[in-house]
Amino acid sequence: MRLLVSNDDGIFAPGLRALANTLAQAGHEVTVVAPDRERSATGHGLTLHKPIRVESVTGFFHPTVTAWACSGTPADCVKLALGRLLPHPPDLVVAGINQGQNLGTDILYSGTVSAAMEGLFENIPGVAFSLASYTEPEFTVARRFAAGLIRQLAHQPLPGAILLNVNIPAVAAPDIAGVCLTRQGVRRYTDQFDERTDPRGRTYYWLAGTAVEDEPEAADGAYTGSFPTDVATVKSNKISITPLRYNLTDAPGLDTLATWSGLNQGLYWLKD
């Protein structure tokens, strides 16, 4: 398969190298276009008011991997790759392996998920891989699972423009309790901002916070069905696979709002 690989941890992140090299060794045609520095939590941010520069990277990845360091965001990297750098569209956009989980509502901020999501805008499916630890640098389980999943997708492609958000617990292979299809959960935080004082006596704030892990099953009132949340699944040492799409339309909400008779008279409100 032709694979475009990116991330938000930067071009020299060990998770990116582990993923790209593993996929190249499996026989895939791998091109890496990744930020030249840490770009975590940039979401779908784009660079609009300054130039985007790229530089070839050699000697860091498997010899068959073509790699570029990009001065932009993860979304910039994928857009630029699809629009200019790649001679042919990839079969799949793959992001990761991220150092840290991307679960629940955190995916709305994730540069990793956003990188893979950019492919969906061009009808190219994607997969985002994350290791559920911010400190554990061992990517063996994650990269092996990634290789297996990509191999599966080569024989059984995704049905349309779908993004699989995959989170792998940071445990040894014998301790992985299974693999689950999941729905997006909710991640809330306590004490989100740490208030501090600089040497000049001025107050500043540092975004911090502790995740609330005891998430109610239906906290957001969303569809529950028989699928567990990604948050609960990873907590139980199971690999979570959540299918995502970029259309955020609330279909039940549309049906409810359609019954509001006042909306049909909306133009009259402008005359008040």
Q: What domains are there in the chain, each with its CATH number?
A: 2-186+224-255 (3.40.1210.10)
> What is the structure's pLDDT at 215?
54
Cα first-last separation, the chain: 60
Q: How far apart are CA 132 and CA 142, in angstroms?
A: 10
Angstrom distances, CA of residue 16 to CA of 21, 62, 142, 212, 262 = 8, 12, 11, 28, 52
Gyration radius from the chain CA atoms: 20
> What is the structure's pLDDT at 225?
65
Sign of the torsion formed by the C-alpha atoms of 95, 99, 105 and 109: negative
Phi and psi, residue 24, nearest 5°? -65, -40
Phi and psi, residue 42, nearest 5°? -90, -5
> What is the structure's pLDDT at 258?
82
pTM over cut 0.85: yes
The answer to whether the beta carbons of residues 266 and 219 sit under 8 Å apart is no
Q: What is the pLDDT of residues 150-191, one digit of tens each?
A: 999 999 999 888 999 999 999 999 999 999 999 999 887 776
Q: What is the pLDDT of residues 188-236, one digit of tens each?
A: 777 678 889 999 999 998 887 777 654 555 444 455 568 999 999 999 9
Q: What is the pLDDT of residues 235-250, one digit of tens each?
A: 999 999 999 999 989 8
Q: What is the pLDDT of residues 36-61, one digit of tens each?
A: 999 998 999 999 999 999 999 999 99
**Between 218 and 139, whose confidence is greater?**
139
Q: How far apart are CA 22 and CA 142, in angstroms?
A: 10
Distance of CA 253 to the CA centre of its chain: 26
Angle separating helix axes 140-155 and 14-25, nearest 10 degrees? 40
The answer to whether the beta carbons of residues 137 and 108 sit under 8 Å apart is no
Q: How confident is the model at residue 266 (pLDDT cuts 50, 70, 90)?
A: low
